[in-house]
C-alpha cells in the first residue's frame, strides 16, 4: 500500500500543475482549481485501489469527477464540507518552502561558524560529525593521539557553542 501511495504521490507531484490548469479551464476559478487539485490528491490517496497502470490518467479522471461533482452541486445550490480528518493522513511529507529556507539559512550559519575554527579543530570536527568517525579512527587517520583529538573536539564544540550563544543574544 505504501509503494502504491508513494508512486501515486510522485505522479501527483509531477502533474500537479497540469491538474490545476485542467481544473481552471473547466471551472474558471483559480482558487477552486487549487482546492480541487488538493482534493484530487486526497481522494486518490485515500482510495483502496489496486496498483494503477496509468497514474496520470487516474489522477485526471479523479479531478474531472470532482469538477463534475462541483458543477452539479453548484447548479443545485448544494455546498458540501470536506472531511478534516483525511488531511493529516495524506499531507505532503516534505518540509514546507519556509522550513526549507530556514534550514538552508541555519546550515549556512553552521558552515560559517565551522569556517571560524582552527584548521585542525575544523578537520577533527568534520571527521567526527560529518564522516562519523570515532575519536580513535580520527587519531589514526591524522597521526595524533586520541587525547589530542578529544582536546580539538572540545575546543571546536566550545567555540561553536559560544558562536551560536552570541548569535542568540
Could you report the per-residue pLDDT of 14-41, keeping only the tens digit for each? 888 998 999 999 988 888 888 888 888 8
CA distance 154 to 156: 5
CA distance 34 to 70: 13
Q: What is the pLDDT of residue 37?
A: 86
Signed CA dihedral, 129, 131, 134, 137: sign only: negative
CA distance 52 to 118: 56
Q: Please provide the CATH number assigned to the domain covering 2-90.
A: 1.10.1740
What pTM did the predictor assign? 0.45
Domain ranges of the chain: 2-90, 97-168
Domain 97-168 fold: Arc Repressor Mutant, subunit A (1.10.10)
Using alpha carbons, select from 94, 89, 4 the residue that is nearest to residue 42.
Answer: 89
Cell (9 digits) for 136: 580513535
Amino acid at each position: 500500500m505504501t509503494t502504491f501511495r508513494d508512486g501515486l504521490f510522485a505522479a501527483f507531484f509531477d502533474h500537479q500543475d497540469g491538474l490545476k490548469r485542467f481544473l481552471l479551464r473547466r471551472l474558471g476559478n483559480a482558487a477552486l482549481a487549487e482546492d480541487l487539485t488538493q482534493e484530487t490528491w486526497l481522494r486518490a490517496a485515500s482510495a483502496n485501489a489496486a496498483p494503477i497502470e496509468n497514474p496520470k490518467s487516474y489522477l485526471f479522471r479523479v479531478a474531472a469527477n470532482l469538477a463534475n461533482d462541483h458543477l452539479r452541486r453548484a447548479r443545485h445550490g448544494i455546498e458540501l464540507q470536506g472531511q478534516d480528518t483525511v488531511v493529516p493522513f495524506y499531507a505532503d511529507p516534505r518540509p514546507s518552502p519556509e522550513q526549507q529556507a530556514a534550514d538552508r539559512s541555519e546550515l549556512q550559519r553552521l558552515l560559517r561558524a565551522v569556517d571560524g575554527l582552527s584548521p585542525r579543530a575544523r578537520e577533527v570536527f568534520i571527521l567526527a560529525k560529518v564522516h562519523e568517525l570515532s575519536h580513535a579512527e580520527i587519531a589514526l587517520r591524522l597521526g595524533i593521539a586520541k587525547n589530542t583529538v578529544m582536546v580539538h573536539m572540545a575546543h571546536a564544540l566550545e567555540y561553536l557553542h559560544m558562536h551560536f550563544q552570541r548569535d542568540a543574544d
